[in-house]
Amino acid sequence: GENVEQHPSTLSVQEGDSAVIKCTYSDSASNYFPWYKQELGKRPQLIIDIRSNVGEKKDQRIAVTLNKTAKHFSLHITETQPEDSAVYFCAASNFNKFYFGSGTKLNVKP
């Protein structure tokens, strides 16, 4: 089955710096890669996603890149702000499976 590994488990950055979270997957059939943000005590919410026919996608300060050959994808957050502090989960899926990574706790220091 699929195995999604997410690194790092914790990440601390200074406000204004960039943050990068990486995920690797094992199933070459995976073709959809969403990222979720979960604030403390709240529900996970989709922040950006990418499909396998695209190499990069941007939405304001966040971007996701996908390397299908190497089977890894990354979340990039630029100009981080204290409100970006949360746990971020990656996921990989195809038509009949959906797997989450173990999460990255991002702390943005003011």
Partner 1 sequence: NAGVTQTPKFQVLKTGQSMTLQCAQDMNHNSMYWYRQDPGMGLRLIYYSASEGTTDKGEVPNGYNVSRLNKREFSLRLESAAPSQTSVYFCASSETFGNQPQHFGDGTRLSIL
Distance from C-alpha of 16 to C-alpha of 77, rounded to nearest angstrom: 10
The 54-83 site mask, x for binding partner 1 (CB under 8 A), equals ------------------------------
In terms of Cα–Cα distance, which of 71, 65, 84, 70 is closest to 19? 84
- Exactly one of 20, 31, 57, 107 binds partner 1 (CB under 8 A); that residue is 31
Q: Is 27 in the site for partner 1 (CB under 8 A)?
A: no
Q: What angle do CA 62, 64, 70 make, to 5 degrees?
A: 155
The tokens of 73 are what?
């994808």
Applying CB under 8 A, which part among 19-27, 59-67, 74-82, 101-109 lies near partner 1? 101-109
Site residues (vs partner 1, CB under 8 A): 31-32, 34, 42-46, 49, 51, 89, 93-98, 100-103
